[in-house]
Amino acid sequence: MQDVTKIMTVINAVDFGAFFDIVSPAIEIHPANYTAEVKSAFLQAVFDRGNLSSIKDTEFLLWLRVRLSPLLVDLSPSLVTPLFDIGKNRSCNSSQEIIAMLDTLHLTLSNDTKREVYKNTLLFLQGPMPLKCYSGGSFYTYLRNTFLSFGFPDLSTFISLLPRMRESELLSTISSSELRQFLSQPNVIGNNSDICVIFNNYNNTPTFLETEDVPDDVKKMTLPCVWSLALSSNSRSEADSWFDLRLRNYLRFLSKSLISPVKVQNASCHAFQKLVAVMGNNFTYNSSEFGESDVYTTVRTYLRNGTDATDGVRCYNASDAELNSTAWFVNNIGNFVKFIALDDFTFFVSTSQSEVFLEDQANLELFNNKAISEDVTELYILQLFTFNPTFSPMKLPGFFLCSSEVPGSAYSSLSENNTILILNKLKEFCNGTENAVTFAALTSNIQTITGEMFATLGSASAGLTTSQITSVAPSVLVSSLSTLSSVSTWNQEQATTIIQTITAAGFQINDRSSLESLGTLVAGVPSKSIEKIPASVLLNISKSSTFVSNMLGAPKVVQQTFVNKIISVDSSPAKVVMNVPDAMATEIPPSLLVFSQEMVDISVINKKEWTSDQAAMFFGILGEANIDVEQLPPSVLQGFTCSSVQRMRQTRIQGLIRACRPRRGRAKVELKESQLTCMLNLLNGNLSQNFTDYPSDMLLYFNNKDIKRANCRSYLSAVGAADFSVASRVLKKDSLLLSEARSCLGINGTKLSRDNVEVLGNMACTLNSSYIQNADPLILEKLKACNDLSDSQVDAMERMLLSGETKYGNPSTWNKQTLENLGLLPLYFTRNFWGQFQSQTKKRFLRTFNPQLRGSRTEKRKLKVLFEEISAQKTKRGAGCTVGNITQVTVSDASFPFGYDRVQFDLCLDIPVLKDNLLSICEKVDDNDFQKVILMKLNQAFPLGISDEKVQVLGSVSRVASLDDISKWNITKLDTLAALMDADGGPWEAAKSKAIISKYLNTSGNSLGSTELNSVGSNLCSLDSSTLMTITPDSIRSAKPLDVTSCSSEQKKVLYEISNSSFSALITSPSAYYNLIKPFLGGASLEDILKLSAQNISMDIATFQSLDPNVIDVLNVTNVRGLMGFQLQDLKLFENDTVIRDWVNLQSQSDLDSLGVGLTTNRTNLTTAPSGSNNSTDTTATTAVSTATPTQGSTGGSTATTAVTTAQGSTSGSDAPMTIITEATTQGRTSVSDAPMTITDATTQGRTSVSDAPMTITDATTQGRTSVSDAPMTITDATTQENTSGSDATFSTSAATTQANTTSGGAELAKHPTSIFLSILLTAVLQILQQPA
């Protein structure tokens, strides 16, 4: 190489031509003799000194083609640029000749050299005069011919070669196939945005997209570039071309960004509608980064936010042939309609054009989709019939017929043939959905009911009126039982009518076959008919789950009769439990559930439904049973009582308590207050800090000392799940727990944070309005769980809701869904709240809310208030019926009678309609004034008296009847009595219930049997004592526990005597006896209560409070300890209760201290205590007093009251210290011996005569008697101490009461020695007379 340099140095530059004319051909002939380095040295010399840049093109081409050509073989990369430099300023032909020459040698060139050639070629094209050599034609071909084999620019470079002002011009010279070739090159596209430059300037894009196929990655990058072109289509045909042809193979590469509202918002209506169609019908979402819901978001945004809307609706123009289709929902929402929300639909149909949209058949079919939200479909139908009340239901698609929003009036005008067609559609599409309004309307079109028609009607038969049913021949009813027996929605009146009709015609209900054939109609079989069926037949059919399920739909009195018949087969407890169906076990009398350990099968018991009273009877056997208490069902666990568990091991008791804790997926174990305090007492302070291990309600009774300060929050959270209404008001648990919560959670003032509300849970139900108003809106969710709410709480809730600052939004946006989302709270709201809703919205809501309330047995008083608050203003009288005549269809609507006031209800309700739909009307009408209208019309309809069957369906309407109304009722049947006494109808006034029960008893053969007692319930207390005395012990024994709390003392005593006789056989089983006798203990004598105190029964506090006050006053601490056992601690808990406080104040502090529960008396004389005490250790005899009862039936009115007088320190009998407290009342009496008196605290110490004996004479009352011996009195604990004569012997009688007449001298006194009685009596009289005036 150095030799070449030396040679070339000595050669003159002007001689280079001649030199290379010799050397170059030699190199070409003998290339092997010349290395690449030699050739490179020659070329370098030429480039350095040859001055080729200044020669003419012809000479340059000579140099290039002849002299330099052999030297270019294996050209070094470093010499490429010098080579291109000598052609820079030459003609296009010369410049391109360099590239062409190198192309012929490309096989000899290294890759580095080729890259240098490509680089310099590119620089050539980008020179001071870009594209100076381009003379037209395909720009792509030009570049191909320029770069030849040295590569081709990628897209980014390609774009850089296009002068900004000539982009469109040059690109348009490229054919679609050339563009495909270019774009199909590997890795040609580096930057996605570059490709958009191509399509933004390429005038043949549609053809390219339609005809050319490019790799998927190119398609994916191309789509965003052409998407806006597709969306701007200004005609339907153009949009079709874009989506059906041009983008056919590109749409699968759509991204979430491309279908976003931002991208689509400005699309033309034609393109938008085409997009909706394609994305809804032809797009596969499996591998897409977005879903159908994302598309719907874009759809709703486009339709709601457009600025090009006509008459409020986008993409509809009645004057545009391409946009005037009334199938607006199909065209603009399409299959995405399943995502449509109520708010969106409300917006779409609020336009002036929506009426024609709703009636369009294509739209109707589009919404005939179960995937669409039910509230949207309902609103569609509602709006459809609002705009066009005469719209034919024959045009409705299948699923629309299932909606309750189709008005009954739409069906009422159908022909019988069309009615049958609709019935068949209902069977096809509605899958058992039963709409009472629809059925009532359709059946009203049937003129003649045959067996075939019953088959066609199927479940719609429940829409028949009683008059329609009675018009059917009994033989048709019997032959159609296979259909009628499967209808699940018969009401009681219909079922009874059918049964009466077929039995009157001779149908016998006396065996399994006939009972099974009735199916659901068994609910109409009267109890008397059940009573007549052989018990063996009923026992046999009770094994059928289908029959039992149907029987559960019958009235309670029928169920009880059915169960009693089964029990009569074998009344042994084990057999009773085995034979009675599981779901009907609640009808078993508790007295038949006294098991021995050997008799019971726990697995059988666990399968059955029980009441707490029943479960308490057998709960004690769980103590020794080999069972997993965690598996015991709630109905068994609710039998936990202190009486039933007192013989159990502590570990078993703890396990049972824990089993009652709240558990996910299990019903709550419902426990009464006495059970909860019993559990706490039994745990005896051994409490865990894991509060969820206990029943939530039990936590209400925890003391501060039971909760570690660090755990107060977890305690509050756990107790927040409790039912605060369980705790007695006297305990003031609400205020106490709130105080603890304020301290624990750091609550200041009345403001409650979201966290506070979350922790407090159900405590929200106890908060006053100040807390509610200042709480986080989450409190509304907590208040939904409350059993009741006060007026002030409701006011606070309404204020919060009306503020618009809750999740329920501004009141202007409220709708039916809002009401449904509020749960049970609407039950309590006032007109302030209801005024925010249109009448139609309220009516639609009530169609679901009313059945919900009635199904949960909501108190009638609450239903009455709801109707009053939700109803509109009253209409004026005199306008006639303006709201609409009340028909069978009207009363079938669950919202009935909403929309009517008292005047309209009276004017619009015709008597024939009332008679035909009495049950349906009575079930739904809660307003007192409306109910009085019903009774008035019934009296008009039945002037000679209302039959048992009609009276049975009155329900709560019966409560507004007058005694005169009741006198016109037939109440001869047990079913009628039971129906009238049903507590769900509301409470009875005593006079009315007495009239009803007496009317029943006046019917020959009727008595107060066990079923009657179960039916009458607490209304038993309205009867006279003489009537109660007719109850037999067997009736009490076979009845459920009776509620006698409202009975008088006299009535309680009567009932106690009977019940005591009923259960006396169980006296050796204290727990069982106590559980059965417990409801009647308010009538028990002191003697019987004292006997109980020795039986270890653990009497609950509520029962103790219910005892006769005169008995309670005489009980001492020993007696009470014996009675209450494990419940003794409850005396302290309830110390502020009047009954407990009064008893405590009768006791001495020392005696109370012996109880160890912390009770304090306010009694100042600490040396005396009630006479029931037998543990006195000093020389002071103690006596007790019970209130002296005023005399009755006296002939005079004077009353003498003796003041309290105490004499102390005396040495004679007359000076004996005593306290005399009397209300000595004489009414028309002739001697002091007639005066009722009470002598208390008569105490002698060291006395020498019987006259000194301390004594108590209580409740001594005379009624018009003429001698001392006639005076009824109680002498208790008369005791002498340190006596010197036999006459001074201690004398004690408990609750010995005499009620003697003038001839007998008193039966009770006969029990005592006359001499003792006279001495005591004489001493008492003398002491009274010797007191100073």
- Summarised one tens digit per residue, pLDDT across range 642-693 is 999 989 999 999 999 999 999 999 999 999 999 999 999 999 889 999 999 9
Q: What CA–CA distance (Å, rounded) separates 923 from 954?
A: 8
Residue closest to 461 by CA, chosen among 427, 511, 410: 427
pLDDT digits (tens, 9 = 90+) for 1068-1092: 899 999 999 999 999 999 999 999 9
Residue closest to 1103 by CA, chosen among 613, 615, 699, 682: 613
Residue 208 has pLDDT above 90, yes or no: yes
pLDDT of residue 875: 61
Give yes or no for a contact between 819 and 849, defined as CB atoms under 8 angstroms apart: yes
Q: Cis bond leading into 130, ω under 30°?
A: no
- Which H or E element spans position 1219? strand 1218-1220
pLDDT of residue 1210: 36
**Three-state SS string across 595-638, please?**
CCCCCCCHHHHHCCCCCHHHHHHHHHHHHCCCCCHHHCCHHHHC
Q: What CA–CA distance (Å, rounded) separates 92 from 94?
A: 5
Strand pairing category for 1237-1239 and 1218-1220: unpaired
Phi, psi of 777 (to 5 degrees): -55, -15
Rg of the chain over CA atoms, in angstroms? 51
Q: What CA–CA distance (Å, rounded) separates 493 from 489?
A: 11
Q: What is the DSSP string of 161-174?
A: TS-GGGHHHHHTTS
Residue 730 has pLDDT above 50, yes or no: yes
Higher local confidence (pLDDT), 188 or 1316: 188
DSSP code at position 778:
T
Give yes or no for a contact between 662 and 668, defined as CB atoms under 8 angstroms apart: yes
What are 907's two structure tokens?
């004017």
Residues with Cβ within 8 Å of 1091's Cβ and at least 6 positions away in sequence, in order, are none
pLDDT of residue 90: 86
Percent of the chain with pLDDT strictly greater than 70: 86
Q: What CA–CA distance (Å, rounded) separates 943 from 88?
A: 126
Confidence band (pLDDT; 50, 70, 90) for 343? confident
Give yes or no for a contact between 1244 and 1252, defined as CB atoms under 8 angstroms apart: yes
Beta bridge partners, 1274, equal 1258, 1297
Percent of the chain with pLDDT strictly greater than 90: 74
Q: What's the mean pLDDT in 780-789?
A: 96
pLDDT digits (tens, 9 = 90+) for 1046-1075: 999 999 999 999 999 999 999 889 999 999
Give yes or no for a contact between 1250 and 1287, defined as CB atoms under 8 angstroms apart: yes
CA 1204 to chain centroid, in Å, comes to 63
pLDDT of residue 879: 73
pLDDT of residue 385: 93
What is the identity of the amino acid at 390?
T
What are 139's two structure tokens?
């720009």
Q: Give the length of the chain.
A: 1333
Beta bridge partners, 1275, equal 1257
Residue 531 has pLDDT above 90, yes or no: yes
Beta bridge partners, 313, equal 310
pLDDT of residue 597: 65
> Under DSSP, is residue 661 helix (H, G, I), strand (E, B) or coil?
coil
Residue closest to 496 by CA, chosen among 471, 519, 520, 524: 524
Residue closest to 753 by CA, chosen among 777, 778, 779, 776: 776
What are 1267's two structure tokens?
């001698």
Q: What's the mean pLDDT in 1229-1233?
A: 37
pLDDT digits (tens, 9 = 90+) for 110-163: 999 999 999 999 998 988 888 888 989 999 999 999 999 999 999 999 999 999
pLDDT of residue 1268: 38
Give yes or no for a contact between 281 and 244, defined as CB atoms under 8 angstroms apart: no
Degrees, nearest 5: CA angle 1279-1285-1291: 25
Question: If you average pLDDT over every residue of the chain, what do you get?
Answer: 87
pLDDT of residue 1213: 39
Confidence band (pLDDT; 50, 70, 90) for 638? very high
Residue 357 has pLDDT above 60, yes or no: yes
Q: What CA–CA distance (Å, rounded) separates 471 from 501?
A: 10
Q: What CA–CA distance (Å, rounded) separates 850 from 846?
A: 5
Beta bridge partners, 1206, equal 1219
Q: Long-range contacts made by residues 708-714, C-beta under 8 angstroms, separation at least 24?
A: 709/744, 712/740, 712/743, 712/744, 713/744, 713/745, 713/759, 714/689
Residue closest to 1090 by CA, chosen among 863, 917, 1277: 1277
Confidence band (pLDDT; 50, 70, 90) for 15? confident
Q: What CA–CA distance (Å, rounded) separates 994 from 973?
A: 16
Q: What CA–CA distance (Å, rounded) separates 243 from 227?
A: 10
DSSP code at position 477:
H
CB count in 10 Å sphere of residue 192:
13
Give yes or no for a contact between 366 and 337, defined as CB atoms under 8 angstroms apart: yes
What are 243's two structure tokens?
């989506």
Residues with Cβ within 8 Å of 571's Cβ and at least 6 positions away in sequence, in order, are 592
Give yes or no for a contact between 1190 and 1205, defined as CB atoms under 8 angstroms apart: no
Residue 1301 has pLDDT above 80, yes or no: no
Residue 1308 has pLDDT above 70, yes or no: no
Find the helix packing angle between 712-719 and 733-745, rounded to 10°.
140
Give yes or no for a contact between 1070 and 1098, defined as CB atoms under 8 angstroms apart: no
Confidence band (pLDDT; 50, 70, 90) for 1215? very low
Q: What CA–CA distance (Å, rounded) separates 1128 from 979?
A: 41
Q: How far is CA 472 from CA 85, 437, 451, 1112, 1252, in A?
A: 115, 22, 10, 65, 90
pLDDT digits (tens, 9 = 90+) for 603-622: 999 999 999 999 999 999 99
Q: What's the mean pLDDT in 1156-1179?
A: 63
How many CA atoms lie less than 13 Å away from 1003 in the CB half-sphere? 17
Q: What burial class does residue 266 get, using C-beta atoms within 10 Å of its C-beta: 0-12 exposed, 13-18 middle, 19+ buried?
A: middle
pLDDT digits (tens, 9 = 90+) for 1234-1283: 434 333 343 334 333 333 333 433 343 334 333 333 444 333 343 334 33
Residues with Cβ within 8 Å of 652's Cβ and at least 6 positions away in sequence, in order, are 622, 623, 629, 645
Residue 1295 has pLDDT above 60, yes or no: no
Q: What CA–CA distance (Å, rounded) separates 876 from 907?
A: 12
Q: How far is CA 1325 from CA 281, 693, 1200, 1328, in A?
A: 109, 64, 16, 5
pLDDT of residue 351: 72
| Tokens 């009464």, located at residue | 672
Residue 927 has pLDDT above 60, yes or no: yes
Residue 298 has pLDDT above 70, yes or no: yes
